[in-house]
Amino acid sequence: MKWVRFKTNKKLNCFEFDRKAFEESITEKTKVVFFNNPHNPVGLVFTKEDLEFVSRTIQKYPNLICIADEVYEKFAFDGREHLRLASLPGMWDRTISIFSSGKVFSSTGWRVGFSIAPSHLTRYIGSFQTWNVYCLNTLAARSTQLGMKIALSQPYEGYPSYYEWLNKTFNWRSNKITSIVNNSNLDLHVIPLYSRCIHLKGDILLLPTSKILSKRSLLNIFTKIRKGDQKLH
């Protein structure tokens, strides 16, 4: 297995997709490409141009398939748009898209996820799943299915749908924790939009730039967030 590392843009202080490294990592012997977008833990949301490059590169190899981990698709913040790789021309027949209801409904303990793929791939997924699934039960699966339907079709907390509420709420939390940390006396700083934290292009996890925070410091930060306090003493 080969890993493709992100480039570091020191001028903008952010991560970038390394197209050359990605292209060079694939050979005639490559069978599967694992693709994570939005990326965990870096938080990078791939641009349409990057995705088109990934698509063109994969399609150079007739038997190459892609497993696209897109469990954080609802967490593209500040106007960024998540585009499914399988939606690009020529990618549907060779892509298995993976999603997680646990991330969307804050129910990771249920261990419920799902995949979308063409029929010639799903039959193999079904064979594998029969002998490898653990923890999942019918009630959890059925509840998740109904929850997804309601989340998409009904208003929630003043928003057109639960999914829109989810994105706006976590976007607000991300900006909130960034503001609190930057206004604290901690040896830590987060640069909005271009920094080493998932806030920039994905989720709300902050990666310290200088020192490791103690559990007490982290607890203090989140306590202040819950209380709506803009300052950390």
Cβ–Cβ under 8 Å, residues 74 and 167 = yes
Cβ–Cβ under 8 Å, residues 84 and 67 = no
Q: What is the pLDDT of residue 218?
A: 57
Q: What is the pLDDT of residue 199?
A: 38
The two structure tokens encoding residue 210:
């200088």
Burial track 31-50 (b if 16+ CB lie within 10 A, e otherwise): eebebbbbbbebbbbbeeeb
The answer as to whether 119 is a domain residue is yes
The two structure tokens encoding residue 45:
């949301």
The answer as to whether 228 is a domain residue is no
Average pLDDT value over all residues in the chain: 81
Element (H, E) at 51: helix 48-58
The answer as to whether 74 is a domain residue is yes
The answer as to whether 26 is a domain residue is yes
Cβ–Cβ under 8 Å, residues 40 and 68 = no
The answer as to whether 33 is a domain residue is yes
How far is the C-alpha of 71 from the C-alpha of 114, rounded, in Å?
9
Provide the domain limits for residue 73: 7-134
The answer as to whether 197 is a domain residue is no
Q: What is the mean pLDDT of residues 4-8?
A: 85
pLDDT tens, position by position, 11-40 = 766 778 999 999 999 999 999 999 999 888
Q: Residue 228: CB partners within 8 Å, gap ≥ 6?
A: none
The two structure tokens encoding residue 162:
């639960």
The answer as to whether 162 is a domain residue is no
Instruction: List the CATH number of the domain containing 69.
Output: 3.40.640.10
Number of domains composing the chain: 1
pTM here is 0.78
The answer as to whether 118 is a domain residue is yes
The two structure tokens encoding residue 83:
């585009």
